[in-house]
Amino acid sequence: MFELFKGPTFSLFLLARCFHPGSWDEDGELRILNMVEHAVVGRRRQLRAPISLERTTTSFFGLFGEGGFIHPNLRVARSAGRGLVATGKLRKDEVLLMVPLKCMLRRPLPWSELQGFSKPRLSWRLSQDEEIIVFLAALRKYGINSEWFRYVLTLPEDDANSTLSWRSEEVAALRGTPAHAPARQLRRQVLRLCEELTIGCAELRWAASHYWSRALRMKPKGFHAMVPGVDLMNFDPDSRNYFRMAGKSIAYIAGQDYEERQEILDSYGGKNDTYLLTHYGFLHQ
């Protein structure tokens, strides 16, 4: 009957209370309001001043390898977080980024580059999501000599702000809303991997949180991948930028004109707020 979070952020509080009439005391209200505030503060939205621009994109976008491209009017920007900012005018339908398929973290994964760790043999077959999560965790712990370790260095050291990093009581506060089941499913997935692997729960949780807040589902190829550069972009539901296959690469194309100092934002595939909260840790107002 209900599709959560189509309205303002306080809809989480209102709907949760409606699903549990008479069961909310003052402490319960405080917990859910704190959780909503936590989600709003943690969202990946536009950068805020002061913003500093990196002098060059060479070190970061060296990950693209031969055949990769970044528009010369783009720079990595930093404030409280990171993003991509135009340093000059960009026109609609210009290619902003071109990332070769071989430079995306996706199946088949280069397990041979990890010294002292091989692809795990588990009691079940890993899904492509699970395999990338396990590889990313192992890469961070064992892969310092791997070519892919440079990508790990571009990711935040802390867990991404998704429900994977929430306390149990914060997740429990979602009970009675559509976000509760997917949040618990994500946490069970990590727990299952923790029980089977020796990498360590902290590494697996870190990898899972960044995977679910950054991975793309590429159509029409149907594979999932973490894409350097593209995963820097912050969120705007009205962004008109889009992807196109270009031979053995994926092009990210401007869906509008951009002026100097304007941030490049992405719609994250038009996901609803239930998904945004559980996987990205923020709500869209």
pLDDT beyond 90 at 214: yes
pLDDT at residue 55 is higher than 60: no
Give the integer Cα–Cα distance in Å for 4 and 12.
7
State the pLDDT confidence band at 67, using cuts at 50, 70 and 90.
confident
Q: How is 238-263 classified by DSSP, letter by letter?
A: T---EEEEETTEEEEE-SS-B-TTPE
SS3 24: coil
Does the pLDDT value for residue 83 go beyond 80?
yes
Neighbours of 229 (CB within 10 A): 24
pLDDT at 219: 76
Tens of pLDDT along 121-138?
A: 887 889 999 999 999 999
Q: Mean pLDDT, to the nearest integer, of 33-46?
A: 48
Tell me how far apart the alpha carbons of residues 105 and 212 are, in angstroms, rounded to a whole number. 13
The single-letter DSSP state of residue 121 is -
Q: Give the mean pLDDT of the chain.
A: 82
What digits encode the pLDDT tens for the residues 262-275? 999 999 988 888 99
Instruction: Let me know: does 224 contact 217? Beta carbons within 8 Å.
Output: yes
> Strands 263-266 and 234-235, how do they pair?
parallel
More confident residue, 65 or 236: 236
Contacts 24+ apart (CB under 8 A), 22-31: 28/173, 31/169, 31/170, 31/173
The per-residue pLDDT for 144 is 93
Least confident of 31-40, 252-261, 265-274: 31-40
Long-range interactions of 235-238: CB distance < 8 A, separation 24+: 235/43, 235/44, 235/45, 235/265, 235/266, 235/267, 235/268, 235/276, 235/280, 235/282, 235/284, 236/45, 236/46, 236/265, 236/266, 236/267, 237/267, 237/270, 237/284, 238/267
pLDDT average, residue stretch 188-204 = 95
Read off the pLDDT of each residue in 17-27 and give the average, rounded to a whole number: 43
Give the total residue count for the chain.
285
Would you say residue 194 has pLDDT above 60? yes
Question: Confidence class of residue 44 from pLDDT cuts 50, 70 and 90?
Answer: low
Higher pLDDT, 193 or 47: 193
Q: What type of residue is 46?
A: Q
Q: What is the pTM of this model?
A: 0.81
Q: How confident is the model at residue 52 (pLDDT cuts 50, 70, 90)?
A: low
Position 46 confidence tier, pLDDT thresholds 50, 70, 90: low
